[in-house]
Amino acid sequence: MINFKEVIAEQIAKMINWQKEEILQLIEIPKDSNNGDYAFPCFRLAKTLKKAPPAIATEMKEKIEIDPNMITKIEIAGGYLNFFVNKTTQIKELIKEIATQEEFGKSDYGKEKNIIVEYSAPNIAKPFHIGHLRTTGIGQALYNIYQYLGFHVTGINHIGDYGTQFGKMIEGYKRWGKEYSFDQNPIDDMLAIYVRINDLCKKDENVLNACRDNFKKLEDKDPYCLEIWNRFKTLSLKEFQRIYDMLGTKFDSWNGEAFYSDKMPEVIDILEKSGHLKESNGAKIIDLEDQGISTPCMIVKSNGSTTYDTRDLAAILYRARTYDFDKCLYVVAYEQDLHFRQVFGAAKYLGLDEKYLKGLEHVSYGMVRLKSGKMSTREGTLIKLEDLLNESIARVKEIMEEKNPDLENIDEIAKKIGIGAVIFNNLATNRIKDQIFDWDEVLNFQGETGPYIQYTYVRTKSVLEKVGKLPNFDEIEVEKLQDEYSLKIMDMIYHFEDILKQVVEKNEPSILARYLIDLSKAFSTFYNENKIIGDDKSCQDARIYLTYMTGKVLKQGAKLIGMEMPDKM
Ligand code: ARG
């Protein structure tokens, strides 16, 4: 497809002797379409040319040679050159592109780049609650979008299956395992054991020591401890998989913390040799004061056992060697900001290539709060994600039964909408913001929600169904799509790939979520203002095609953020 921005950049490059890439960086998309489709700011040139930016713009305007099939008009506004794209060319191109490409907006932009996205990473033997939705949903969306842009992506579920708490779990199981069936709600049973043993540890130092001992035994591969630990793990993963199936979550690797148990001695050795490992009250730490981090990174505890930090360091080393990553993204809550600053700081002493250190990035996100208040395991206000998804489906079903009682396959549709609503809501706000979960908002079919996007998509489907056959794309009269509302949609569709690039640049899927809302709104306005089906056949065909294009982009965008589209609702 013609890239108008590049066309403009090439012409400017010819005039001012700059690299095209540099110019591309500067070209902006004006907020107000009255200022054209692209704008080039002349301010940076003022210094070298020793002229005022408006004067430079005037001169450039006179000299620039651009094919009128590409750019119809250039205007000067302040120090800007504003370019107006030839809409006929743009729309023709776009129609052809959509008609001939199976997957619109897909590219090889990221080819030869290796991206690791680490997401979800729940702890075994603990409930999968709504707090996990953010990492799981944001991570999966990033995975999908990077991949769509041609990056080579590896999704890793860094399961929390190691650490001293498992020493406690083993102790609890030894004592009370027989009292529980681990049948109906195995995670609840495991949690109950965990709460009990924790209480006992607080009262009795000997029990605590036994727990520590168990973890040491687990690290030393004691068969009995391993067997119990494996049982916890199998039971938990089976539970988690049900949720992943509902959400459409997939991973390429399930290497969790335990995977690194035999890879830590090497890390400790490297750190030791680097001269940065220090003794401190019997423990081994890395001081990070000189990096502006006042809490040191704990590598080996005084009892000799390894830590969460050490496992993360081992993972960095392993991932650099195994995946040769350009970026390694950690989609983890902002509560772990300090942890990642420490780990990334200590990673500087692993002797890795600078490339890997630069590629490490904590993609942090805010908390989810219920409208009714904070979640807490102890007060029983912790909401399991599976329960939340099922409730969403049930609520949607109720709404559908009322609104559209004749709907076939209502269960399947309610599932798509109910789960889609939750997935969308999870991604709709800037990831770093805390979020308040409110059913009235999440399921509002008219609000800025997943169901609203699905509803808009279904509308495009029903228009197409009414006419039956899609007109031939090469017979569309492009002139019929030059009204304000059609142009707005065309313009948005044209920028779909840019939006995806912005998502990966900022690791911010909410940009795509926002786009889908805006596109849905633009279509609703178009739908209300223009008669799609009418007497003028060529006008009808053009509008039908626009409707088809909108539906296609909505569906593709929704798929990338992990939301399925129903055909009816
Ligand atoms: N399992 C951890 C938790 O639930 C999250 C793991 C984050 N990833 C990492 N590489 N440390 O808190």
Residue 376, Cβ neighbours under 10 Å: how many? 9
From ligand 1's centre to the CA of 120, what distance in Å?
Answer: 8
- CA–centroid distance, residue 160 to ligand 1 (Å): 6
For ligand 1, say whether the CB of 309 is within 6 Å of any of its atoms.
no
Q: What is the pLDDT along the chain (569 residues), one digit of tens a residue?
A: 899 999 999 999 988 888 999 999 999 999 888 999 999 999 988 888 889 999 999 999 999 988 999 999 999 998 999 999 999 999 999 999 999 999 999 999 999 999 999 999 999 999 998 889 999 999 999 999 999 999 999 999 999 999 888 999 999 999 999 999 999 889 999 999 999 999 999 999 999 999 999 998 998 899 999 999 999 999 999 999 999 999 999 999 999 999 999 999 999 999 999 999 999 999 999 999 999 999 999 999 988 888 999 999 999 999 999 999 999 999 999 999 999 999 999 999 999 999 999 999 999 999 888 776 655 555 556 788 999 999 999 999 999 999 999 999 999 999 999 999 999 999 999 999 998 888 889 899 889 999 999 999 999 999 999 999 899 999 999 999 999 999 999 999 999 999 999 999 999 999 999 999 999 999 999 999 999 998 899 999 999 999 999 999 999 999 999 999 999 99
Q: What is the pLDDT of residue 436?
A: 87
Residue nearest to atom 10 of ligand 1 (CA): 312
On whether the CB atoms of residues 328 and 361 are closer than 8 A, the answer is yes
> What distance in angstroms lies between residue 342's CA and the mean position of ligand 1's atoms?
14
List every span in the chain annotated with CATH 3.40.50.620: 114-370
193 and 177 Cβ atoms separated by less than 8 Å? yes
Indicate which atom in ligand 1 lies nearest the CA of residue 132: 4
Establish whether residue 105 lines the binding site of ligand 1, counting it when its CB lies within 6 angstroms of any ligand atom: no
Is any atom of ligand 1 closer than 6 Å to the C-beta of 158? yes
Scanning the structure block, which residue is given the tokens 């907006």?
A: 105
**257 C-alpha to ligand 1 centroid (Å):** 9
Q: Residue written as tokens 């620039």?
A: 64
Predicted confidence at residue 100, as pLDDT, reads 93
CA dihedral for 194, 122, 124, 311, sign (positive or negative) = negative
Helix (H, G, I), strand (E, B) or coil at 563: coil
Question: Contact, 437 vs 425, CB < 8 A?
Answer: yes
Amino acid at 522: A
Provide φ and ψ at 37, rounded to 5°: -95, -30
Mutational test site, ligand 1, from 116, 117, 120, 123, max ligand atoms within 8 Å of CB? 123
| Whole-number pLDDT of residue 39 | 96
255-289 as b/e: b if 16+ CB within 10 A: bbbbbbbeebeebbebbeeeebbeeeeebbbbbbe
Under DSSP, is residue 34 helix (H, G, I), strand (E, B) or coil? Answer: helix
Question: How would DSSP label each residue in 217-252?
Answer: HHHTT-HHHHHHHHHHHHHHHHHHHHHHHHHT---S
User: Is any ligand 1 atom within 6 A of the Cβ of residue 123?
Assistant: yes
Containing 154, the helix (H) or strand (E) segment is strand 152-156
User: Given ligand 1 and candidates 130, 157, 158, 343, which is best to mutate, with the most ligand atoms within 8 Å of its CB?
Assistant: 158
Q: Is there an atom of ligand 1 within 6 Å of 160 CB? A: yes
Secondary structure of residue 568 in the 3-state scheme: coil
CATH annotation of 385-560: 1.10.730.10
The Cα 542–Cα 479 span in angstroms is 9
**Bridge partners (DSSP) listed for residue 304:** none
Quick one: pLDDT at residue 1?
Answer: 87
Task: Please tell me the CATH code under which domain 114-370 is placed.
Answer: 3.40.50.620
The architecture CATH gives domain 4-85: 2-Layer Sandwich (3.30)
Instruction: Evaluate: CB of 330 within 6 angstroms of ligand 1.
Output: yes
For residues 404 and 398, what is the distance between their CA atoms, to the nearest angstrom?
Answer: 10
569 pocket-lining for ligand 1 (C-beta < 6 Å): no
Query: pLDDT value at position 377?
Result: 54
Nearest-angstrom CA–CA distance, 546 and 354: 48
375 backbone dihedrals φ, ψ, rounded to 5°: -90, 145
- Neighbouring residues of 30: CB distance < 8 A, sequence distance ≥ 6: 36, 37, 38, 39, 82
- Per this entry, what is the length of the chain? 569
| Tokens, residue 527 | 């739908």
Whose Cα sits closest to atom 6 in ligand 1? 121
**CA 64 to each of CA 15, 30, 152, 466: distance values in angstroms, whole numbers, following the listed order:** 7, 20, 39, 48
Distance CA 296, CA 346 (A): 9
d(CA 28, CA 500): 17
- 339 C-alpha to center of ligand 1: Å? 10
Domain with CATH 1.10.730.10 in the chain: 385-560
Query: How many Å apart are CA 130 and CA 442, to the nearest integer?
Result: 14
Pairwise CA distance, residues 355 & 329, whole Å: 14
Quote the ligand 1 centre to 119 CA distance (angstroms). Answer: 9
How much distance in Å is there from the Cα of 374 to the middle of ligand 1?
A: 21
